[in-house]
Amino acid sequence: MKLKMNFLFIVCAIMYLCLYVPNANAQFLKRTYKLADTTSTQPSSNTVSQILISNGRVFLATNKGLNVATTGGMSFQTNLENGPTGISADAVAIQGDTIAVAVSTTMDQGGTTYLVGQGLFASTDNGTTWTKEPQSVDSQADTTVVFGNDTLRALPVTTNVQNITFSLVFHKGYLYTANWAGGLRRSNDLGKTWQRVVLPPDNLSYINQDSTYNFQLSVLAGKITDETNYNQYGFSLYSDGDSVLYVGTAGGIDKTADNGYSWQKFSHQNESSSISGDFVVSLAGQNSRSIHRIWGATVVANDPTETSALSYTDDGGATWHSIWNGHFFHGMASKDSTVVYGVSDDGLFRTSDLGSSSQVITNIYDQTTKQSISHPSSDLSQAFYAVATSGDTVWVGSGDGSAVGIDNGAGFDASEWHVLRAYATVAANSTYFYPNPFSPHLDVGRIHYYIGNGGRVTIRILDFSMHIVRTLLQNATRTPIDSKGNADELWNGASDRGGFVDNGVYFYSVVVNGGTPSWGKILVLR
């Protein structure tokens, strides 16, 4: 999921949705994708927002459900019976044989697309069977919450619109969820019941249940509460071996060592050694020799003095440092005590010396299949959203596929990348375009066609009046990307005149070796 968002727009949208919009179970924005068969060696989707490696298996959270792969990426389980399949998987947590997956859909209202939390899938037998619980919402009467001896005013979140679970973690007998509108919540029965967890308000850096307070549990001021606390918007979680829980919010990083009895907050504003930015989209840990380092993808929220970077602490938050300032990171992972990876809008970053020197990967190319993840003409050209490691094996996820690479200690070998992409194979004189509808600002458009053993290809894009708007290829030499004679060509939505084409229906023709044209249709929605 692409996380670079208009912060103030989302806050205003939540103000409207929390107060006026009921739970949404209809009007979902429908998009069609050509995907791999569930028994194939391909993932089910090319959009990967989280990767988690556990017990020799790789769990990919995709916009078409949870995929489970071997560490080498040679086979995928994409059809989890009665489980999180065919729906956007936003977060995954694993503890022993228990797997929890948060899911969502989208809703189109008034020309704007909103995310809709659809609850939690859980399995206690390592993914064999699944149960489903709805998104945690409050009743209109849930206007207070108890913290120690205080009864605090609280904003009830009664809708699942914009109430999205972005992160999950198991910690001290609870499953914690970081929710955007819904804040921090926890459950001790895998989502059957939930408890709202109180985090510090924006004006306090420390709270505990032995003290007296009159602040509010409120992400947004309105008729019920009169405070807006960005620190109560939940976004990311990290459990430090069941000893310490870290929570990333839109207002900083919160830490508890006593399961929520007390909290300490670290932000850009109220600490002498501060994080780079208060919007914390991801958290991770790294054992660095005798130090346990905590990392956060800390990006700009509201303060103009903030900057986007990776922030880290070696002393539990007493002091903070940052590396790779100026880049919007979506996540991070470590290989060993020194090597750190960061996935950002500007590529995959690697360092073994805390950013003094770096390797930046913006082009991943599979020399065997000829597939790549790098498209200079697309908004998604260099963006990666997820990363995870297992020994020397590094997995990365993007909006245009996932990839597996090898880091033997000196950096990535460009010849050893394996690109994984979902597509349906076609036979002779067949073609399709995906995704469809196609938004040039959000997607990478691909014309998938049959080329046999290879040859010379001409591809033209035409408007509804059958006028040529783009000659994509003109008698160009192309080779297949797989053993079944399939090939891909990218279109970024631009015309031969430059600039994106208008909204509407477009046709395209594919001519291979001077033969009969194959035709396809594209719906462009900018």
Cα separation, 523 vs 376, in Å, equals 22
pTM: 0.86
Cα separation, 440 vs 414, in Å, equals 28
- A 10 A CB-CB count for 34 gives 16
Cα separation, 332 vs 339, in Å, equals 11
* Spatial CB neighbours of 440, under 8 Å, sequence gap ≥ 6: 378, 379, 492, 493, 494, 500, 501, 524, 526
- Which tokens go with 340? 């750190």
**Partner residues linked to 196 by β-bridges:** 185
Give Cα 48 to chain centroid, integer Å. 6
CA atoms within 13 A on the CB side of 96: 6
Query: Is there a contact between 190 and 119 (Cβ–Cβ < 8 Å)?
Result: no
Q: Does domain 431-524 have CATH number 2.60.40.4070?
A: yes
Per-residue pLDDT of the chain in tens (526 residues, 90 and over written 9): 444 444 544 554 444 444 444 455 433 333 343 433 444 578 998 899 999 999 889 999 999 999 999 777 778 889 898 999 999 999 999 999 999 999 999 998 887 889 999 999 999 999 999 999 999 999 999 999 999 999 999 999 999 999 999 999 999 999 999 999 999 999 999 999 999 999 999 999 999 999 999 999 999 999 899 999 999 999 999 999 889 999 999 999 999 999 999 999 999 987 678 999 999 999 999 998 788 999 999 999 989 999 999 999 999 999 999 999 999 999 999 999 999 999 999 999 999 999 999 999 998 988 887 788 865 555 456 789 999 999 999 999 998 899 999 998 999 999 999 999 888 889 999 999 988 999 887 777 889 999 999 999 999 999 999 999 999 999 999 999 888 899 999 898 999 998 899 999 999 999 999 999 999 999 999 7
CA distances, 110 to each of 5, 6, 29, 30, 107 (Å): 19, 18, 12, 15, 10
What 3-state DSSP class applies to 73? Answer: coil
Listed by start position, the domains of the chain span: 431-524
- A 10 A CB-CB count for 431 gives 21
- Which tokens go with 343? 């996935």
